[in-house]
């Protein structure tokens, strides 16, 4: 295989005579099967030799994640510095990534020891999914808040018994005083801790009364107007993805789904090939919060954009998800990748909005439907809201309607 990757006879000999030959070849063939191009395989082959040397790998035995991280740090910050080294942190991340991929493939990776409080978070996540029916994104966010708090204040030997309300208050105050979070973010953080400690109290994990004592900043329901670009700006986004570049073809289809259907990032991320019914011209959306499915008519421009992406860019890939990365290994787009798709198109326009991610297009879609005379019920159904209060916030952006109310003749009552 190395004679296919390298042209230099010395390089071929070096890789063929290095330790753990069969294990390296198995991994490289696996990467090749998953679509990794020749350039990626060459890079991985070189990195595997570094991993073997720095970790002093033998033919058997488990390797701890802590040892990988320590060796990666020593390699990235070695002295004297290699003349090609420009970003030590990036080099360290590459080392850790390839080592964990390879050793995980060989089943030689010893999992990193988790703190004792991890089991509490895992049980809390199961409770939120099974008993409260929350979406995966909400569960990840709330568990992230709890994990950040417990990593700072929970003692391994005492579990949660040593947690005090003062520590919780200090953590909430830190969000505003040092982290610069806005009130709504602080409120969500406090609500996550309150929900966790309420569940912890019912299971006897912590002292009683903690949840009831958690105080969050007041946030008024209608204190801010939903932030999103105007519909005229939204109409410019698909045009900015013109051309035959693969990234433009893919991003055009994604932007049209966000803007026309007002989909959430997770809903686009979860779209699969079987969700497209080409015969009936329907697209099926899995709503994460109500945990229901909703069928939409597949509008011709959207269908044509998706079909072009499938035929010219995505081609035949093992994954059933519609939107994949453009480079091997081909995998579903992450939430941050979808955020970047929208942000990279909105920011150059220089429009003054608070957020540049997919949710801003959801707001723009709702505002456009409201301006075209749709009722709150119709808008809520289109957006997949399960609570009418979630839709009523858009009543504030109907400026024309508010002006009509202001100009209404009260017939001498004033």
Known catalytic membership, residue 264? yes
Known catalytic membership, residue 385? yes
Of 264, 270, 314, 345, catalytic: 264
Of 15, 175, 289, 314, catalytic: 289
Known catalytic membership, residue 86? no
Known catalytic membership, residue 38? no
Q: Which three-class secondary structure state does DSSP give residue 152? A: helix
Cα distance between residue 69 and residue 93, in whole Å? 9
Contact at 8 Å (CB) between 71 and 55? Answer: yes
Displacement of CA 172 from its chain's centroid (Å): 24
Known catalytic membership, residue 386? no
Known catalytic membership, residue 289? yes
Of 15, 94, 175, 359, catalytic: 359
Report the 10 Å Cβ neighbour count for 400.
Answer: 9
Q: Is 409 exposed, middle or buried (0-12, 13-18, 19+ CB in 10 A)?
A: exposed
Look up residue 59 and give its DSSP letter.
S
Cα distance between residue 252 and residue 388, in whole Å? 31
Of 194, 362, 363, 368, catalytic: 362
- Crossing angle for the helix pair 335-346 and 231-239, nearest 10 degrees? 100
133-141: long-range contacts at Cβ-Cβ below 8 A with a sequence spacing of 24 or more?
133/291, 134/289, 135/266, 135/288, 135/289, 135/291, 136/266, 136/288, 137/266, 137/288, 137/335, 138/289, 141/188, 141/192
Cα distance between residue 193 and residue 181, in whole Å? 16
The full DSSP string for 98-141 is HHHHHHHHTT-EEPPPPPTTHHHHHHHHHHHHHTS---HHHHHH
**Which residues are catalytically annotated?**
264, 289, 359, 362, 385, 394
């Amino acid at each position: 295989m190395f004679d296919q990757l390298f042209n230099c006879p010395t390089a071929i000999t070096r890789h063929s005579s290095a330790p753990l030959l069969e294990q390296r070849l198995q991994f490289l063939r696996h990467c090749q099967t998953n679509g990794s191009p020749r350039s990626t395989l060459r890079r991985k082959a070189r990195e595997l030799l570094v991993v073997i040397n720095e970790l002093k790998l033998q033919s058997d035995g488990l390797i701890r994640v802590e040892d990988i991280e320590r060796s990666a740090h020593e390699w990235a910050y070695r002295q004297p510095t290699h003349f090609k080294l420009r970003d030590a942190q990036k080099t360290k991340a590459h080392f850790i990534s390839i080592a964990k991929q390879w050793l995980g493939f060989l089943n030689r990776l010893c999992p990193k020891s988790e703190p004792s409080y991890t089991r509490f978070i895992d049980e809390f996540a199961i409770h939120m999914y099974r008993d409260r029916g929350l979406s995966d994104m909400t569960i990840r966010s709330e568990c992230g808040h709890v994990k950040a708090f417990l990593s700072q204040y929970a003692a391994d030997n005492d579990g949660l018994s040593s947690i005090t309300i003062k520590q919780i208050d200090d953590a909430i105050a830190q969000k505003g005083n040092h982290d610069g979070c806005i009130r709504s973010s602080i409120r969500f953080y406090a609500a996550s801790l309150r929900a966790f400690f309420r569940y912890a109290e019912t299971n006897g994990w912590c002292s009683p009364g903690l949840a009831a004592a958690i105080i969050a900043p007041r946030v008024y329901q209608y204190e801010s107007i939903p932030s999103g670009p105007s519909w005229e700006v939204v109409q410019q986004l698909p045009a900015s993805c013109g051309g035959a570049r693969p990234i433009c073809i893919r991003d055009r289809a994604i932007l049209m789904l966000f803007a026309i259907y007002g989909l959430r990032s997770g809903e686009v991320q979860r779209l699969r090939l079987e969700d497209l019914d080409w015969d009936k011209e329907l697209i099926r959306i899995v709503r994460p919060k109500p945990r229901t499915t909703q069928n939409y008519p597949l509008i011709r421009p959207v269908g044509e954009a998706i079909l072009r992406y499938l035929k010219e860019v995505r081609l035949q890939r093992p994954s059933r998800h519609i939107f994949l990365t453009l480079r091997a290994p081909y995998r579903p787009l992450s939430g941050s990748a979808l955020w970047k798709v929208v942000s990279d198109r909105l920011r150059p326009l220089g429009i003054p909005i608070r957020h540049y991610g997919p949710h801003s297009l959801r707001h723009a879609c709702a505002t456009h439907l409201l301006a075209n005379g749709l009722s709150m019920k119709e808008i809520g159904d289109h957006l997949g809201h399960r609570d009418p209060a979630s839709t009523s916030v858009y009543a504030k952006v109907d400026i024309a309607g508010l002006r009509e109310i202001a100009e209404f003749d009260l017939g001498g009552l004033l």
